[in-house]
Amino acid sequence: GAGVSQSPSNKVTEKGKDVELRCDPISGHTALYWYRQRLGQGLEFLIYFQGNSAPDKSGLPSDRFSAERTGESVSTLTIQRTQQEDSAVYLCASSLAPGSNTGELFFGEGSRLTVL
């Protein structure tokens, strides 16, 4: 597609349930990022994928969080046993390979997660 697509746009779930968030990056973008944005706060880096390299998972807050990406296509962020503090907007961004640009990211509109 023309831009980064994320789904669902809104998700309300009960505490303890698992959720999956999906990101479809811009075609040809080899780098993909997940960020978390809590209400009124800045962006919190979660995970970074670059091509077929091992992902940078240094931002994942706990082992309840995981993400996958197959090749240079769709990525899925999974949160297991959700907690109320997981409530946030989860943003996905993609970019060209780091060596070929200066860090410009293209963002999706985010998936708003509410854990009751």
Partner 1 sequence: GNSVTQMEGPVTLSEEAFLTINCTYTATGYPSLFWYVQYPGEGLQLLLKATKADDKGSNKGFEATYRKETTSFHLEKGSVQVSDSAVYFCALYAGNNRKLIWGLGTSLAVNP
Pick the closer one to partner 1 by CB: 20 or 109: 109
| The token pair that represents 98 in the structure block | 């780091």
d(CA 57, CA 47) in angstroms, rounded, equals 5
Pick the closer one to partner 1 by CB: 45 or 68: 45
Pick the closer one to partner 1 by CB: 86 or 110: 110
Asked if residue 49 lies in contact with residue 95, where contact means CB atoms within 8 angstroms, the answer is no
Shortest Cβ distance from residue 62 to partner 1 (Å)? 20
Shortest Cβ distance from residue 102 to partner 1 (Å)? 4
Cα dihedral sign for 115, 109, 37, 46? positive
Residues that bind partner 1 (CB under 8 A): 4, 31, 33, 41-43, 45, 48, 50, 56, 91, 93, 98, 102-110
Rg of the chain taking only CA atoms, in angstroms: 14
